[in-house]
Structure 1
Amino acid sequence: MPREEQEATTTASRRAQPRPWRRVVRWLVDAGLHPRASATTVRVAEDLARRMDYIEGRAIYDLAGTAARLGLSEPTVKRHVRILRELGALVWLEHGSRRNLHLPGQKYTATATVYGAAVPLCFDEAMGHRLEGAGYSDRRVVGVTGAGRERSVAEAQRAADACRPAHDPPSPGGYRGVGKAGVSGGVKDPPRAACPTASSPKKTTSRRRTGRSTGRPAWQVARDIAIARQVRPRVAWTQREGLRRLAYSLRPLIDAGLNAEAIAVELHSWWLDWRPQQPAGFITAELRRRDARAAVAGPVCPTGPTEEFLEAGVAADDDGQEPGIGEGRVRLEDLPREAVVALRSAALEDPDLVVTAVEELGLRDARRLYTSTLVDRALRLRFRLSGHARLNL
């Protein structure tokens, strides 16, 4: 391009950012559009790109600094900057001057030359870009022609082929090692398959994985996961846990015959006001603690009445004064499991129901009906609200 078209106000090139501008410069040099363009031209352009503004592509000339960083002479840097301007890849934004500006407090002050990255029209035509607007700042790419699209696809295919390994893929049959011939005529380092005592690492790993099996049938595991899928949306603090881990932790409750609704009621009855980091681990540990307490304190009915619990509850009367469940007022064994689940679900929303049951049935029967956890929480809540309330227990 002639000198008068190397200004930002007169050039036909458009503005570019540093990253795509590097590719433009390499293409212009490789295309041989300038007889004196070379790899040094690309090095000078790389130094300018590293110092450019990322949005507008502005860079200060810095002749002496560029020559020092690249190990070139100043005339060489000047020559290749001129080549970039003549290629249409660099335009003047501001012309520097060595004249003294006579700034107060400074003996000598000059102005620096500022260049701008540009993309010439020949590059856009070769790439099949459709342009809109006019001028260095207003012209922009708005689409790609059919030929440009085919060129982009071909370049992407070549880049993908270059990334593929050059060697052939291994055969699916595997590699059978061949031993080296020894001095005595035998075979040194025989293949692993020929050694009866050698074992494959894969076989060892598979045996270890098989040994970890719990023996639970596949249909039962699928049923556990289906129940866990129904429990997880009902209990907020379990929703961060995976289905398989949650199903594994709920196995004691599932094996006890509880459905998803009853399990959700049991978990809600723990009254957690915090979220465990590992819900499945917390459930497993809590169930073990409850089993340990039950073994020490006697039979406990955390989820629903059973025949063994009722027999032990009627026989073990603490004070011997209040009538039991089977002694005339109510028979818990006559209540269906759905009714017990509904009562406990309602108690989660209204603790006063538990307090009323304690006052009407007594503490022992209320614990057997609503579980000790629900009764203790409801009583603590009632004492905390009233401050001095006294229940007729």
Structure 2
Amino acid sequence: MLPKTAPHNNHQPTQTRPHRLGNAAPITHATAQELTHTASRHSGPRRWLKATRWLLSAGIHPRGNATTLRIAEDLATRMDYSTGHVLYCLDGISTRLALSRATVKRHVAVLRELGSLVWVMHGTKANIRRKRGLSGYAGTATVYAAVIPPVYDHAMGHQIVGTGYDARIVIHQQSPARPVDNSLVDDSCSRIGAPPSLTLVKEERKVQMTGGFNYTSRRCASRTKHHPSHSSAPASRTKPAPRSPAQAAREILETRTIRALVNWTQSEPLRRLAFSLRAYFDRGLNAHEIAAELIGLCLTWRPARPAAYIQAHLRREADDATARDSAHAAASDPQSNIAWQEWLEQTRLETPTRTDTDRRLARLYSWDQWSEVADHYAEDPDDALDLYGTRLCVHAIRQASLAEATPRHV
């Protein structure tokens, strides 16, 4: 009679599905649950959750069930997209899923034993706030990393390069098909399998009528259809510059590098992202320069639709450039500035109209005030001539000159 084997000893457990799991051990022991000693490879949240679902449905761990999957889904929603690291947050999981702390601990241990979670940092009672020079108390948090165990790769037939946490899958790609121009052009026939465009383009088809209206009402038949080429929007928004197949292929290769460098763009399909970046390519920027531009756009959040966000940002840049050009044009030509013209009109309305009575009184008052009339003429000749008249201004200037030339006797 064979002795019973504990599920957590150093012996390999009996395989229940040898044709799918091979000879890989499904239970990971305590030493291998650390990031530095794990046999599982690094993964992001999407592929990690897919692999975890398969491992639980395969029944590899005897205590894995639907509750384990719920906890895995909660962890996946909070994982970093590139590193796969996530804060444990025991109380938060317990509150969100309405589970006891003991239940959460038990099922997280199941994920560790499956080889799907490894410790990056163990939580302690050390005051992390004191280390940062802050007041109060906060213990050091537990940090886990998402990993995929070798049993899953063996079952899926994956070819692995390297070992442990830094291992990677080898993907054998077929030669890419000849790239096609996916610009927003109203073709007569749509291509099967063409990537989706960012803007919806409705095809306008003519209805050929040999007699009657052929299921088309008179109102619809007489309606004038608006063609996209007649739009008042800039041409760069409705119809991007067409690309040759070679140019489209180069831009897709550049976009592959950009998507690897900018983490918030990694959820966008490659072709759609390449289409949204065409304005940057037209500026002559390379992959690293475009990546630097995109990293500066989203520092603290991730857009739900990266391609649409990039397109909106480029439209805002175009609108700002148009506004700046209009401002420079207005500054160089004041007469075309509406604000300047309004100010002139307001000044003209606020200036009181001079009457003949005003002129007559001014000439009577200033008949012997030659220096005052001369000073007025020096400051504003046109206004002085209008107010005092030519003869009085000439006489006042002559008298003021004689008075300055005549020496004074004390």
Taking structure 2 as the reference length, the TM-score comes to 0.36
**More contact order relative to length (CA 8 Å, sep ≥ 6):** 2
Taking structure 1 as the reference length, the TM-score comes to 0.37
